[in-house]
Chain A
């Protein structure tokens, strides 16, 4: 199985901050890396697919980059509604695997 390691596991930030979350794969996954946002009691929501493609309807303050084994999700300016958990996921090879998640909370 491909292991996905996300960091940090949690972070505290303020509205307006730039936030960066990283995800590392245990082997190359090309650009088969996706990012999801999850709020309490809700299903995950797709933000970024193919490492850097913004899902339709997702605000442009979200961006993704990387290829191979190292990937980054960036929120350029944190909005109040962005306080949530974020997960990376590889869809390169089954079993598809997720990172352990990053919880972004209010400083």
Chain B
């Protein structure tokens, strides 16, 4: 059974870089035809798609974050990573990794439990 687990620092200072990992078990991030993605949710608010990475390494990002975000994959560790530079309080959120299923119209059928990141000095 595919499982995703996010990890990373819960507190980041303004202007610094937020770095998160997503460990994948029960499946391989190298599986053909699959994307992997990141989504975030500010406290008490809705969901915002951050971006996705294809098994080939191709990435797509939300234009609102594109200048600051990098999503990458470490196939040897079966992990995804998210880096967001120059963070501000507006980046405070729960960050989720998820798998968009190409066989289900790219609906995100597997989610991690989320990790809370607070941006504060």
The size bracket of the interface on A is: 20 to 34
Q: Beta-carbon contacts of A20-53 to B below 8 Å, as 1s and 0s?
A: 0000000000011010100000111110011001
* Interface size in chain B (residues, C-beta < 8 A): 24
Binds A, one of B10-18, B25-33, B47-55, B71-79: B47-55
Contact of B47 among A44, A49, A91 (CB under 8 A): A44
Bound complex: CA A89 to CA B113 (Å): 19
A1 at the B interface (CB under 8 A): yes
- Indicate whether A46 sits within 8 Å of B114 (C-beta atoms), given known contacts A1-B63, A94-B52: no
Please give the distance in Å from B117's CB to the nearest CB on chain A.
15
Contact of B107 among A1, A42, A91, A99 (CB under 8 A): A91
Asked whether A49 and B104 contact (CB < 8 A) given A43-B111, A55-B109, A101-B46, the answer is yes
**Is the beta-carbon distance between B107 and A50 smaller than 8 angstroms?**
yes
C-alpha gap A82/B34 in the complex (Å): 30
Given known contacts A96-B49, A98-B47, A98-B49, A91 and B109 CB-to-CB distance under 8 angstroms: no
Cβ-defined contact, B47 with A87, below 8 A: yes
29 A-B residue pairs with Cβ-Cβ distance under 8 Å, sorted by A, are A31-B105, A32-B105, A32-B106, A34-B105, A34-B107, A43-B98, A43-B111, A44-B96, A44-B108, A46-B107, A46-B108, A46-B109, A49-B105, A49-B107, A50-B104, A53-B104, A55-B104, A55-B107, A91-B105, A91-B106, A94-B49, A94-B62, A95-B60, A95-B62, A96-B106, A97-B49, A98-B49, A101-B46, A101-B47
